[in-house]
Copies of this chain bind each other. A is one copy, B any other.
Amino acid sequence: MANMVQAIRLALHYGEENLGVREIFGEDVGPPLGGVFTATQGLRTAWNSPLDERGIVGAAMGLAWAGFRPVAEIQFVDYIFNVIDLLKLAANATWTSGGRYKTPMVVMTPTGSGIHGSIYHSHSFDSIATKLHGMKVVCPSNPLDAYGLMISAIKDDNPVLFLKPKALLRVKGEELIPGEPADEKELRAMIDAPIGDRSQWKPRWPDVKEYAVPIGQAKISKAGSGATVVTHGRMVPVALEVAKALAAAGTGDVEVVDMRSLVPYDWELIKASIKKTGRVLFLNEETEITNFGEHLFRRTVDELFYDLKVRPRLLCGKATPGIGLSPALEYATVPQKTDVERALRELIDEPA
């Protein structure tokens, strides 16, 4: 099965061949590297930009207004904080122009911790991202969703921020992308650039098919009736692992909701799950002072107060100025499996 970078690459290939994508660019995005995580390797329209995030986002805006459906990369979300004003402009152009301008562009960027990334390769961005009203924000937790969300993002007439969980980029999927060769070795031979000189290399693209995960649709990754975890991105596999262990041990029947889209989010699905279980944990990596999970938490109390069996919970990152490199520091800062276990245990065990 394709891993997440391969899935994104395949979606971008599909986009440049079929969906009008004409420019894919960013720092190290073109040959020879094809992206620091190889998400843009071998793509026909991928090129290297100057080392300048403001130029990158500015270029994307202008190209979007000209109808070129650009896909721009910010090398790490940790380096997006000097272009928040431009992202806001991209997000508000349709509204500001009274609906007359569309800004169809994708900005993709690796997010989150889990790769010993230290202070500037571990950031999460959910709360600021969800505040750029007019921008859509998606974050996949597996390759197939990454493929389907990227295709939707490209087709969308609004700017879409595509958050790629750093720690999941090399994790293989469990489902085939439509058109993907069944043998993953074959896929690698077709689309992964060789080590060493690659100046003569060209990918052989499998004939992948359109497959869209609609923006705004969450997914129940594991059904359950005893409690709900609402999460996304890197925390999805962690939540699933814990939920499955609890199920196997017969000590909890947890439903895992993978949001996939942060804005607009699938409130109907989240609401239905919480109504069913009466217990909910919001789980994400970002720091706790003004955390996107707090928005969902507040809306839950607003609209589902009388459906809740116990008070809702949030588990997220600690409000430190950074995530330290020494592993003990990172583990103490960002939710780990044991933290998720403990939080779920408490949620389930509290008497209604």
A83-B82, A84-B81, A298-B297 given; A290·B321 CB < 8 A = no
CA A85 to CA B84, docked complex, whole Å: 9
Within the complex, the shortest CB–CB distance from A58 to chain B, in Å, comes to: 11
Q: How many residues of A contact B (CB 8 A)?
A: 45
Complex contact B131–A289 (CB within 8 A): yes
The yes or no answer to A133 lying at the interface (CB within 8 A) is: yes
Residues of A at under 8 Å CB distance from B? 54, 79, 81-86, 88, 91-92, 94-96, 119, 126-128, 130-131, 133-134, 263, 287-295, 297-298, 301-302, 305, 311-314, 319-322
Q: Which residues of B contact A131 (CB under 8 A)?
A: 127-128, 287, 289-290
CA A321 to CA B103, docked complex, whole Å: 14
Within the complex, the shortest CB–CB distance from A157 to chain B, in Å, comes to: 15
Chain B minimum-CB-distance residue to A301: B311
Q: Which residues of B contact A288 (CB under 8 A)?
A: 295
Could you say how many copies of this chain the assembly holds? 2
Chain B minimum-CB-distance residue to A91: B321
Provide a sorted-by-A list of 25 A–B residue pairs whose CB atoms are within 8 angstroms. Answer: A79-B85, A81-B85, A82-B85, A82-B86, A84-B84, A92-B321, A94-B321, A96-B321, A127-B127, A127-B128, A128-B128, A128-B131, A130-B289, A131-B287, A131-B289, A133-B287, A289-B295, A290-B290, A290-B294, A290-B295, A291-B295, A294-B297, A298-B298, A298-B314, A302-B313
CA A134 to CA B134, docked complex, whole Å: 29
Q: Which residues of B contact A134 (CB under 8 A)?
A: 321
Q: Which residues of B contact A92 (CB under 8 A)?
A: 119, 321-322
Complex contact B321–A311 (CB within 8 A): no
Chain B minimum-CB-distance residue to A129: B290
Complex contact B289–A95 (CB within 8 A): no
Chain B minimum-CB-distance residue to A312: B301
CA A84 to CA B82, docked complex, whole Å: 6
Residue from A81, A126, A302 having most chain B Cβ neighbours under 10 A: A81
A131-B128, A295-B289, A311-B302 given; A88·B96 CB < 8 A = no
Q: Which residues of B contact A312 (CB under 8 A)?
A: 301
A131-B287, A294-B294 given; A321·B95 CB < 8 A = yes
Residue from A83, A85, A130, A313 having most chain B Cβ neighbours under 10 A: A85
Chain B minimum-CB-distance residue to A293: B298
Complex contact B263–A289 (CB within 8 A): yes
Given contacts A82-B84, A94-B321, A96-B119, 13 further A-B pairs with CB under 8 A are: A79-B85, A82-B82, A92-B322, A95-B321, A95-B322, A128-B128, A128-B131, A288-B295, A289-B295, A290-B294, A291-B295, A294-B297, A297-B301
Q: Which residues of B contact A91 (CB under 8 A)?
A: 321
Within the complex, the shortest CB–CB distance from A57 to chain B, in Å, comes to: 11
